[in-house]
Amino acid sequence: MAEPSPQLIERARAGDPAAWQQLIEEQQNYVYSVAFSLMRRPEDAADLTQEAFLRLCQVIGSFRGETRFTTWLYRLVVNLGLDVLRRRGRSKEAFLDDETIDVPDVDPLIDPALIADRQETAARVRAALNELPTAYRLALTLYYFQELRYEEIANVLNLPLNTVKAHIRRGRLALASRLGTSEARKAP
């Protein structure tokens, strides 16, 4: 994904309407996808996305460029989403720390036919993703979006680095397994 240019961010911070709209247009799909990973329901994801952009325009002045803008933005989205879920009665730990899944200790194999039809693949992967715990979905979403590094994902999710690595590794395995592409072939 395209990290917004520093010039665009600066203009948006200064209240330039055109820059602000451009920033929203560039980021809305990514923010919505993160929100969807967290909330699971489209309407909740849409509400969270809107809330995130409203919040963004209040706090964008505090962005100092110490991290990538998108990392900072996703952290804002995740924190807002966790607040929403907390108000609904579940703790953050219930989402990000305690969830575990059973995954086969196998190498994920991808059938070339699987990726021949990207639309169908996307639908199948999304269905499989929906069965994963929130932490895995979020970690995978952040990992694949703009190739966030493990450290950045750990920063966004406020989780230990090793936890993030484990979430991504196990999430990939679980997805491969649920997509029916796994093969019990261990490394020699």
Partner 1 sequence: MTCAEFRQRWADAGWGASDDPTGSATHLDNCPSCAAWVARQRALDDALATALLIAAPAELSVRLARIPPAFARPATESASQRVLGFAFLVVVALGAIGVSGAALGFVLGLIWPAAADALQAITLILDSPLVGYYQNVASTLLEALATLVLAALVILRMPPAPSPSEGR
Residue with smaller CB distance to partner 1, 79 or 146: 146
> How many of the other CB atoms lie within 10 Å of CB of 55?
15
By CB under 8 A, tell whether 37 contacts partner 1: yes
By CB under 8 A, tell whether 130 contacts partner 1: no
d(CA 2, CA 182): 33
Site string for partner 1, 67-106 (x = CB under 8 A): ----------------------------------------
Which residue of 20, 69, 72, 136 would you call a contact of partner 1, by CB under 8 A? Answer: 20
Give the type of residue at 71. T
* Least gap, CB of 101 to partner 1 (angstroms): 16
Token pair 């999710």 in the structure block, residue:
157
d(CA 170, CA 166): 6
DSSP lists the bridge partners of residue 183 as 107
By CB under 8 A, tell whether 177 contacts partner 1: no
CA distances from 163 to 8, 35, 56, 145, 153 (A): 34, 21, 28, 19, 10
Q: Which residues from 132-161 bind partner 1, rule CB under 8 A?
A: 140-141, 143-145, 147-150
Q: How distant is the alpha carbon of residue 177 from its chain centre?
A: 21
Which residue of 66, 105, 118, 184 would you call a contact of partner 1, by CB under 8 A? Answer: 118
Give the type of residue at 142. L
By CB under 8 A, tell whether 14 contacts partner 1: yes
CA distances from 173 to 29, 30, 136, 181 (A): 26, 23, 11, 10
Of 6-14, 67-75, 77-85, 95-103: span binding partner 1 (CB under 8 A): 6-14
Q: Rule CB under 8 A: which residues touch partner 1?
A: 12-17, 19-21, 24-25, 28-33, 36-37, 42, 46, 49-50, 53-54, 57-62, 107-110, 112, 114-115, 118, 121-126, 129, 140-141, 143-145, 147-150, 165, 168-169, 172, 175-176, 179, 181, 187-188
